[in-house]
Chain A
Amino acid sequence: MMNVKSQWSDKPDLTKRFLFLFLAAVAIMLLLLLRLWYLQVISAERFQHLSEKNRIRYIPISAPRGPIYDRDGHLLVDNRPSFSVSVMRQDVSDRDQLLERLSEYLEIPVEDLARRWEAGRRFPYYRPVPLAEDISREQLERVQENSVDLPGVLIDVQPLRSYPYEDVAAHVFGYLGEITEQQLRSGEFRDYRSGEYVGKSGLEKKLESYLKGKDGQRLLEVDVRGKELRVLRVQEPEPGNRVFLTLREDVQLAAERALAGQAGAAVAIDVKSGEILAMASRPSFNPAMFARGISGAEWIALLQDSRHPLQNKALTGQYPPASTFKIVTALAALRSGAATASTRVDCDGHITLGRRDFRCWKRYGHGPTDLKKAMRESCDVWFYRVGLELGIDKLSEMALELGLGNELGFDLGGEKSGLVPTREWKRARFNASWYDGETVNTSIGQGFVLATPLQLATMTATVANGGLLVRPRIIKKIESWDGEVLLESETEVLQTVEFQGNNLEIVQNSLEAVVNEPRGTGWAARLDQVKVAGKTGTAQVVRLRADDEEPDEEGIPYRFRDHALFVAYAPADDPRIAVAVIVEHGEHGSTTAAPVARSILQAYFGLPEDRVSPVNGYPGD
């Protein structure tokens, strides 16, 4: 650094260059200033005029959500045009006068409109504020006719979810609701605007990203009074993708019809592929209420209904499987050797274990009973004895293998796991050891054991198809409008259940007897054209003490009545469909649940629907 000075001296003098830099900078800045002077002073008036005249309005166009079809392309969920009235606040000079006029044309109280106006303050100024949605034809016409007196008022047409079958399969589709502030803040909903609707449950939520579509926009040039001068640019919205379900429209409708007026659920499943053919849960709701914005009163009514219309009972209803569980007990007993097809038990109506008495539903007993008779007439005593011999460990093992007690990984999501009790479970849950009395209860599907209708249907399918536990699924495929397949589900075997020898056949034959032989408890599900196999069940809602007298059925309040269950598959010799039905407080599987299954099977096989003559119930089958 010592010779810096000398370094300067033998290099060119830079003073002139600095001067040049300085002058160049000043000159170019001056040029910019001149231009600004020209724009902002000389041409100011022209541009001010332009800025007044040239107001650009940006109107988003909502994309229709993707339609939902059944497996054969029947439309289940669609969109319809809905007209709404909104206002550009910047174009309104006299708010009160405008709202009064609108109130008259729309027949909506001024106060309501004013409230919407105020609520719109959270929108940016250039965004229209919605005042009335989904207005009728008459309202629309009145507003259109008087549009001259309504400066700043816009009529928008938006796609609104429509449901041709109203409350059918509502739980599968789910419902829409306005996007929350929290969702907007999370990165996941980046492309959404406040006030927009998103899926809140069911498929609408699960497949939101597929169904949403891409919003379009319209760029308008308007004058000072908000009158549209011309459309500058239109970017058409892209509708959401097409979703095809595994459901079959006719089977679904039959299930819903058969359950009408009752509370409960029905699931029909393809035994080989695990495809859900029908999934009904009752009582239901009409998702259209949500699509147009549900009112507070409607919402509260839905929430407070003691029969839980919002709950998808097929997935989240956990019921004691009752006598339908005897299928598990029989298979486990045969596999372990605790019983054979010819094991005979003399049923005298009860067994005694320690100080407790376990009753058969048939007070004076079934007499000498083998497996087939025990299943056909749902003899409890046979299963008590066999269950005791078998033990809880082998029983729960078989139940777990058949898909009970765990979530099945259903593609719609939201399923409950049910419960298969084990020694370890009881230790962890109650810090107590397992008692034989509990094994006795479990062997007829009472006590701790719980299953969802989806699990019962899957279990039945596994028994029907020879032991393949297949993952149930309801989404068949998703296609873009260009026909590109975006998602296609495939059959997935969760596990293979081993049945030695002809054990499975023995149980299958006994299930066939339940429906087709005299005294069979499943007689109400019998069809002439197709051979059905099945099992009834009646789940106790209130545990009766052993020494209680059987109360008179008519005298029990609804909420204490037993649940009715029925599982079935058909055709018995070459099964294709399995069904599980539960009717809450339906009392007997034989009288209320079996006919529902029958209607579903009739629809599936394309048989004319006929009602069987009412059968006498088997109390406690």
Chain B
Amino acid sequence: MFDRRLLFNFDWTLLLTVLALAAIGIASLYSATSGWETTSTPIYLKQLSWLGIGLLIALGMCCFDYRHLEHMGFNLYLANLLLLAAVLVVGKTSMGATRWLDFGVFNLQPSEVMKIVIIITLARYFSEHGHLQGHTLRELVRPFALVAVPVVLTMKQPDLGTALLILFIAVVMILFAGIRRSTLTVLGVLGTLAAGGGWFLLRDYQKQRILTFLNPENDPLGSGYHIIQSKIAVGSGGLFGKGYMQGTQSQLSFLPERHTDFAFSVFAEEWGFVGSFFLLMLYLFLIVWGIYIARCAADRFGTFLAVGVVAMLFWHIVVNLGMVIGLLPVVGVPLPLFSYGGTSMVTTMIGTGLLLNVSMRRFMF
């Protein structure tokens, strides 16, 4: 039975914000790839069709109550773990990493799906377990295990970016669920030690990236090249930018991967600080609106679901921008709604679908 109030409560603000960001992203993509010889469908048109597909998924997801996910949560999690394990056995290798499962018509990247599934899983866990004084270390063992398994599997592929994102999303959700002060202290110490130990688990090229980040001029032609070129592109944009499709640095000088991970550099060069400021405010508004949705959610599961999605979007934005402007090491994390890529677009739109779902059912009990 369809409730008319659902339509009435549809969150147009969220949808329009997402569409505005996607529109700017595609316009920027058009500029970034305008000089390319096109031997097939232009990149921006492909991105447009991905947006269309994502939109259909997001709106389709609004048709069923998100609370059904609560019961499916653990099964989804197990199924996704199986897929992640399958990747290590029969996965498709591309550019040195094994991240995909070949399903004939499309390639599935289970680690991407895991971002959404871990949100649902943890939302269910924390909606059932909560304490006034916060969780103790013992109570956190289960959620830690839930997170650790997919993170390790993803790092094995190796896909450091996605593994970190899953971890970051989980950290936000766990902190939001509450931890005792004493537990937090212990975890802080353990975390520091783990980070030190983790260094030895990294692959050589991953270590190289972090070292390069600390001193990019060390290796201006290798992995430092991207950061230097990107900083020059962003910086030379100045206050007002060089104008749409006028970015000399990105248009002429072969800024690497300017349509995927470095999409923002093109935008920042062409629109300057004013444009960057506007774009960041739009992203911030999306995040704040997401927190507002979490605040108004009808139940704890919805709250945690929304917090998880917000965390996912937030970390994508921060890690990508931080990398492009030289604040963070280069890890392949796309900027939501901006970087070219079907996976990123679809994952983002699934997240948006969850937010819309939680938002439009906030008045229902």
Neighbouring A residues of B365 by C-beta, 8 Å: 1, 4
Residues of A contacting B229 with CB < 8 Å?
Answer: 56
**Inter-subunit contact B130/A11 (CB<8 Å):** yes
Please tell me if the beta carbons of A54 and B280 are within 8 angstroms of each other in the complex: no
Q: Once the chains bind, are A40 and B39 in contact (CB under 8 Å)?
A: no
Contacts of A14 in B (CB 8 A): 176, 295, 303
Tell me if B132 counts as interface (CB < 8 A to partner A): yes
Contact B276 A17 (CB under 8 A): no
A39 proximal to B (CB < 8 A): yes
Q: List the A side residues contacting B283 at CB < 8 Å.
A: 29
Over the window 217-261 of chain A, the binary record of Cβ atoms lying under 8 Å from chain B Cβ atoms (1 yes, 0 no) is 001000000000000110000000000000000000000000000
CB-nearest residue of chain B to A4? B299
B212 to chain A, nearest CB (A): 15
> Which 4 residue pairs across A and B have the least CB separation, nearest first?
A47-B235, A51-B236, A40-B273, A44-B238
Measured CA separation A47–B39 after assembly (Å): 34
Contact flag A48-B176 (CB < 8 Å), given A39-B325, A125-B251: no
Would you list 29 pairs from A and B whose C-beta atoms are within 8 A, ordered by A residue?
A: A4-B365, A11-B300, A17-B178, A25-B284, A28-B318, A32-B321, A35-B327, A36-B268, A36-B325, A37-B273, A39-B325, A40-B272, A44-B239, A47-B236, A48-B236, A48-B238, A51-B233, A51-B253, A54-B253, A55-B248, A57-B253, A90-B252, A124-B35, A126-B35, A126-B251, A126-B254, A194-B37, A219-B221, A232-B221
A566–B36 CA distance with the chains assembled, in angstroms: 58
B38 CB, nearest partner CB in chain A, Å: 9
Please report which residues of chain A, range 157-200, place their CB below 8 angstroms from some CB of chain B when the two chains form the complex. 184-185, 193-194
> How distant is A127 from chain B, measured CB to nearest CB, in Å?
9
- B236 touching A50, Cβ below 8 Å: yes
Contact of A33 with B280 at beta-carbon distance under 8 Å, contacts A4-B365, A12-B134, A51-B233 already known = yes
Is A7 engaged at the interface, CB distance under 8 Å to the other chain?
Answer: yes
| A210 to B233 CA separation, bound complex (whole angstroms) | 40
A22 touches B131 (CB 8 A): no
Contact flags B270-306 to A (C-beta < 8 A → 1, else 0): 0011001100100110011001001100111001000
Q: Chain A residues near B310 (CB, 8 Å)?
A: 21
A46 beta carbon closer than 8 Å to chain B: yes
Binding site for A on B (CB under 8 A): 35-37, 39-40, 130-132, 134, 172, 176, 178, 220-221, 229, 231-239, 248-249, 251-254, 268, 272-273, 276-277, 280, 283-284, 287-288, 291, 294-295, 298-300, 303, 307, 310, 314, 318, 321-322, 325-327, 365
Q: Is A435 an interface residue (CB 8 A)?
A: no
Least distance between A30 CB and chain B CB atoms (Å)? 9
A18, CB-defined interface residue at 8 Å: yes
* Given known contacts A50-B232, A124-B35, A124-B37, A40 and B268 CB-to-CB distance under 8 angstroms: yes
**In the bound complex, what is the Cα–Cα distance between A125 and B253 (angstroms)?**
10
Q: Are B252 and A55 in contact, with the CB atoms below 8 A?
A: yes
Asked if A542 is at the interface of the complex by the 8 Å CB criterion, the answer is no
Q: Add 14 more A-B contacts to A25-B284, A50-B232 (CB < 8 A).
A: A7-B300, A11-B300, A14-B303, A25-B287, A25-B288, A25-B291, A33-B277, A35-B325, A40-B273, A41-B239, A44-B237, A46-B235, A193-B37, A233-B221
Q: In the complex, how many angstroms separate the beta carbon of A229 from the nearest chain B beta carbon?
A: 13
- Contacting residue for B252 out of A48, A126, A194, A232, CB 8 A: A126
A43 and B172 CA atoms in complex are apart in Å by 34
Bound complex: CA A125 to CA B300 (Å): 55
* CB contact between B280 and one of A7, A12, A36 (< 8 Å): that residue: A36
A607 located at the interface, meaning its Cβ lies under 8 Å from any Cβ of chain B in the complex:
no
Answer whether residue A58 sits at the interface, using C-beta atoms and an 8 A cutoff: yes
User: Are A8 and B300 touching (Cβ within 8 A)?
Assistant: yes
A56 to B321, CA, bound (A): 23
CB neighbours (8 Å) of A32 from chain B are: 280, 318, 321-322, 325, 327
Contacts of B237 in A (CB 8 A): 40, 44
Q: Write out the residue numbers on chain A whose beta carbons fall within 8 Å of the beta carbon of B307.
A: 21
Q: Which of B36, B236, B300, B303 contacts A44 (CB 8 A)?
A: B236
CB of A26 within 8 Å of the partner chain: yes
Q: Is the CB of B130 within 8 A of A12?
A: yes
Q: Please pick, from A36, A51, A124, the residue contacting B36 in the complex, using a CB distance under 8 A.
A: A124
A 41-74 to B, binary, CB cutoff 8 A, 1 in contact else 0: 1011011101110111110000000000000000
| Separation of A26 and B318 alpha carbons in the complex (Å) | 11
Most A C-beta atoms less than 10 A away, residue of B172, B249, B251: B249
**Contact in complex: A51, B232 (CB < 8 Å):** yes
Of all chain B residues, the one with the shortest Cβ separation from A15 is: B295
User: Bound complex: CA of A51 vs CA of B233, how far in Å?
Assistant: 7
Query: Which B residue's beta carbon lies closest to that of A222?
Result: B253
Closest A residue to B67 using CB positions? A1
Q: Report the minimal beta-carbon distance from A231 to chain B, rounded to whole angstroms.
A: 10
Q: Closest approach, in angstroms, between the C-beta of A19 and any C-beta of chain B? A: 9
Known: A12-B178, A35-B325. A22 touches B252 (CB 8 A): no
Q: Are B176 and A21 in contact (CB under 8 A)?
A: yes
Residue of B nearest to A1 (CB): B365
Set of chain B residues within 8 Å of A47, measured between Cβ atoms: 231-232, 234-236
- Tell me the residues in window 87-113 of chain A with beta carbons closer than 8 Å to chain B beta carbons: 90
In the assembled complex, the CB of A152 is this many whole angstroms from the nearest CB of chain B, namely 13
Bound Cα distance from A122 to B238, whole angstroms: 31
Query: A26 CA to B253 CA in the complex, in Å?
Result: 34
Chain A positions within 8 Å of B284 at CB level? 25-26, 29
User: What residues of chain B lie closer than 8 Å to A29, measured between beta carbons?
Assistant: 280, 283-284, 287, 318
Distance A125 CA – B251 CA, assembled complex (angstroms): 8
Q: Is the CB of B327 within 8 A of A43?
A: no
A31 to B365, CA, bound (A): 40
CA distance A4 to B127 in the complex (A): 11
Q: Among the listed A10, A52, A185, which residue makes an inter-chain contact with B40, where contact means beta carbons less than 8 Å apart? A: A185
Contact B277 A55 (CB under 8 A): no
| Minimum CB–CB distance for B187 against chain A, Å | 17
* B-side contacts of A185, CB under 8 Å: 39-40
A41 to chain B, nearest CB (A): 5
Chain B residue at minimal CB-CB distance from A50 = B232
Contacts of B131 in A (CB 8 A): 11-12
Chain A residues, Cβ within 8 Å of B233: 51
List A contacts of B39 (CB < 8 A): 184-185
- CB-CB under 8 A from B220, the residues of chain A are 232
> Residues of B contacting A18 with CB < 8 Å?
291, 294-295
Residues of the B chain whose Cβ atoms lie less than 8 Å from the Cβ of A40: 234-235, 237-239, 268, 272-273, 276
Instruction: Give the CA-CA distance A39 to B322 in the complex, in Å.
Output: 12
B55 to chain A, nearest CB (A): 25
A491 to B20, CA, bound (A): 67
Instruction: Tell me the bound Cα distance from A71 to B189 in angstroms.
Output: 72
* Least CB distance, A598 to chain B, in whole angstroms: 54
Which B residue sits closest to A43, measured CB to CB? Answer: B235
| Pair B298/A4 contact, Cβ less than 8 Å | yes
Which residue of the partner chain B has the closest CB to A183? B39
CA distance A501 to B98 in the complex (A): 66
A-side contacts of B249, CB under 8 Å = 51
Give the docked Cα–Cα distance between A11 and B178 (Å): 11
Q: Which residues of A contact B298 (CB under 8 A)?
A: 4
A126 contacts across to B, CB distance below 8 A: 35, 251-254
Query: In chain A, what residue has the closest Cβ to B230?
Result: A39
List residues of chain A with CB within 8 A of the CB of B294: 18, 21
Q: How far is the CA of A56 from the CA of B229 in the complex (A)?
A: 10
Could you tell me if A36 and B276 are in contact, using CB atoms closer than 8 angstroms?
Answer: yes
> Nearest chain-A residue to B251 (Cβ)?
A125
Task: Write the A98-142 contact mask toward B (1 if CB under 8 angstroms, else 0).
Answer: 000000000000000000000000111110000000000000000
B175 CB, nearest partner CB in chain A, Å = 8
Residue of A nearest to B128 (CB): A7
Complex Cα spacing A40 to B365, Å? 49
Bound together, the chains give a CA A47 to CA B276 distance in angstroms of: 16
Closest to A36 in B: B276
Q: How distant is the Cα of A125 from the Cα of B250 in the complex, in angstroms?
A: 12
CA distance A28 to B288 in the complex (A): 13
Interface centre among A4, A7, A14, A57 (most CB of B within 10 A): A14
- Considering the chains assembled together, what is the distance between the CA atoms of A44 and B274 in angstroms? 13
Q: What's the minimum C-beta distance from B70 to chain A, rounded to whole angstroms?
A: 11
